[in-house]
Amino acid sequence: MKNFHINHRQADQIDVLEISGELDAHTASKLEDSLKSLIDKNKHNIIVNCNNLEYIASAGLGVFMAYIEDVRGLGGDIKLTNMNEKVYNVFDLLGFPTLYDILDDEKEAVKQFHNRDQ
């Protein structure tokens, strides 16, 4: 079993999922379950902090693709933060930076949510 872990916490009323390890076909369902459970609880402002994410495969990217429209349809967003260069390059290759807010720092993402809600 690959090493993949999700820690859910709140930062200033925003839900943060800290993901670490390897996100691939074997572990993508964990992320899917976490996102689904937030959406089911009407939590639509979500930050995914990738600080300790070492690797992402297309299956992991697919999870983000699957949920971004649902979340935006409900008036929220998923912002991605703190990626290392290797992980960012995978997102970049597939054109993600044009679809998602990918920020260097989680605090920046929190600030953007709050600015939007004012």
Structurally, how many domains does the chain consist of?
1
pLDDT in tens, 10-57: 999 999 999 999 999 999 999 999 999 999 999 999 999 999 999 999
pLDDT in tens, 67-95: 999 999 999 999 999 999 999 999 999 88
Integer angstrom CA distances of residue 10 from 70, 101, 107: 21, 19, 12
CB of 61 within 8 A of CB of 88?
no
116 pLDDT band, cuts 50/70/90, is confident
Provide the CATH number for the domain around residue 20: 3.30.750.24
Q: What is the domain extent for residue 46?
A: 4-117
pTM for the full model?
0.94
